[in-house]
Amino acid sequence: MSLKSFHIFFVAIATLLSFGFAAWAWKEYQLTYASLPLFYLALGLVGGVGLAVYLIKIPQKYRELSYL
């Protein structure tokens, strides 16, 4: 497995973490109604979408690198 393949795996896990973080923030907001969890929620959603878009673009962006 090359760095390119491992990078794809890493970004996929980071994307899941980001959406999971957003879900945690939503749960926190429902418990406290504070503004900080809302900021975390936005951060998690924006980060997750950004990472997902990047994940889709990786094969094209690093086409000169091998998967093996």
Partner 1 sequence: MDIPYTVSARKDTGLYNGKLGLWLFLASEVMLFGGLFSALVLIRVGNAVWPPAGTPELNVALATFNTAVLITSSVTAILSWASLAKKDLGGFKKYMGITIVCGFIFLMAKSFEYYGKLSHGVVPSTNVFMGVYYTMTFLHVLHVIGGLAVMIYLWGPGSKMWHTNPGRFSNRIECTGLYWHFVDLVWIFLFPVLYLL
Shortest distance in whole angstroms from residue 32 CB to partner 1: 13
Distance CA 47, CA 36 (A): 16
- By the criterion CB under 8 A, which residues form the site for partner 1? 1-4, 6-7, 10-11, 13-14, 17, 20-21, 24, 36, 40, 43, 47, 51, 54, 62, 64-65, 68
Contact 66, 2 (CB under 8 A): yes
**Residue 3 or 56 with smaller CB distance to partner 1:** 3
Q: Which amino acid is at 56?
A: I
**Closest to 58 measured CA to CA, from 18, 25, 11, 22:** 11
Shortest distance in whole angstroms from residue 29 CB to partner 1: 13
